[in-house]
Amino acid sequence: MDYRVEQAIILVQTNLKSGLRVDRLARQLGVSTSHLQHLFKNETGTTLLRYQQRIRIERARRLLEETNLSVKEIVSQVGGSDMSHFVRDFRKAHGLSPRCYRLNFLQVRGQQNTPINNRIGQDSKVVY
């Protein structure tokens, strides 16, 4: 992989909250914006902006699963600038809004952490 693309990936991941713009990233790497976009697309199969968005969504997913931060705080942590836009992108990626994703995750995790006898309803019959 081209070293400039590798550097771009590292810089995007480490500067996610501040939202490093493509033109600044290109300047930092010593190439034009269009050249960096071309290199990145050829090497990764996606655009820099889509890559940055995917990283934001995945980091938000992890924060929803691992922290008690509010959705608003998570959007800020991952560099989202518009809550409704972010929620729409998250829903597109995961099929649920961030809030519903967390509730679903906690419910599933809670079911996995309880003994099987507690999950079987009183009306259920266990057949051996």
Query: Domain residue spans in the chain?
Result: 1-45, 55-116
Tell me which of 7-11, 15-19, 57-61 is least confident.
Answer: 15-19
Q: According to the CATH classification, is domain 55-116 in 3.90.170.10?
A: no
Question: How far, in Å, are 30, 34, 69, 104, 116 from residue 119 at the CA level?
Answer: 59, 56, 28, 16, 5
C-alpha separations of 35 from 5, 8, 119, 120 in Å: 11, 12, 56, 59
pTM of the model: 0.79
Query: Which residue has better confidence, 101 or 119?
Result: 101
Q: Quick one: pLDDT at residue 126? A: 42
Q: How would residue 125 be classed by pLDDT, with cut points 50, 70 and 90? A: very low
pLDDT band at 18, cuts 50/70/90? confident
